[in-house]
Amino acid sequence: MEKIERVKRELIHKGTILDIYEDTVRLPNGKEEKWDFVSHRMGAACVLAVRPDGKILMVRQYRNALDRFTLEVPAGKRDSLEEDTSICAARELEEETGYRAGKLEKLLALKSTVAFCDEFIDVYLATDLEKIGEQHLDEAEDIDIEAYDLNELMDMCYSGTLQDAKTVAAIMAYAAKK
């Protein structure tokens, strides 16, 4: 495989979570192209949380990029570059659902959109859940908690009802583990 060389990277927009760049790359044939690159500075974690009754906790929230509500596993970005993703996963579970995990196990690591973004998300399984209180949402969050059987969620994945990559990956990894 021949080498592709990045000639230049120009910051187009600096956001609160993401930075957007325009890269100039030189292809093996010598031609230069412009490619978009989105840098997710913090990385993230998500958690598939299984209650003692076997039901999986899901969160329903509005997603601006899709202009609709989606059903997802609890997730969020790390608070700092040094924060371990297991700490992030545990925090997001508590904040978004009011549950604490007695056991937290890493299932897999993924890159969300490799064609143009470097975001990584570590996927965790939370078991031995304990209800510790109410949600502790950020000011801009409005999240409803729902619970489903694994088979229901698998059906939603295969029917296209669930399309969020981290959620589908978490459900499939858990199903393969069972």
Residue ranges and CATH numbers for the domains of the chain are 5-40 (no CATH), 44-109+121-177 (3.90.79.10)
pLDDT tens sequence across 81-95? 999 999 999 999 998
Name every residue whose Cβ is closer than 8 Å to that of residue 113 and which is 6 or more positions away in sequence.
38, 119, 165
Catalytic (active-site) positions? 139
Q: What confidence category does residue 16 fall into, taking pLDDT thresholds of 50, 70 and 90?
A: confident
Please state, rounded to an integer, the average pLDDT across all residues of the chain.
93
Q: What is the pLDDT averaged over residues 96-117?
A: 94
What is the rounded CA–CA span in Å between residue 60 and residue 145?
6
From the list 144, 55, 153, the residue with the least C-alpha distance to 98 is: 144
Task: Name the DSSP class of 83.
Answer: S
pLDDT tens sequence across 116-164? 999 999 999 999 999 987 766 667 767 789 999 999 999 999 999 999 9
Partners of 63 in the β-ladder: 68
For the chain, helix, strand, coil in percent to 5 are: 20, 45, 35
- pTM score: 0.89
- The reported pLDDT for the residue numbered 143 is 77
